[in-house]
Structure 1
């Protein structure tokens, strides 16, 4: 009789533990998805700022300074190398903004057809 009582308590307890494990996995998945969405939004925002600054092909000293300040944010946010590489070149160039880097950024920023 005691074994039957213990067994009858063990089955619901095991089910409860399995349910908690599933809830934990689901919560972890939701948190991971949310973090991924936030990172994606941050990358899109930084990329948008970079593309807006180079869209006319003319980079003023102020634009170059702003682009230089966006390098770390772009890399941290996961912006693709096709944007971060020329961005880094512009930041390192100082007053002489490399035309090929601006052209590379414009190509990377162009909407896909």
Structure 2
């Protein structure tokens, strides 16, 4: 069974799903409104919606015949926390590399 982050990043790997998330960042929207810009049938579009919903990034509610989608924070928050941690790790590595290069240059007499 895939972990939560794998499901989130799988959902974000598709440009259609990223566009849906971007649109929902402006507020809730019906499935038909979200599907309008895309050249695909509603059944195909619903697969994208289900994947986003299963990833925990959106939720849907149905009122009559209209299904409305809205952002559901936990999925995106999990991805953001992971990305922030990765950035911290890479910045620390870059800082250590810079310190190493500066020390090497100083020892060689090429003090910048």
Which TM-score band applies after superposition, normalised by the shorter structure?
0.3 to 0.5
Structure 1 or 2: more strand by fraction:
2
| TM-score, length of structure 2 as denominator length | 0.34
TM-score, normalised via structure 1 length: 0.34
Name the structure where helix makes up a greater proportion of residues.
1
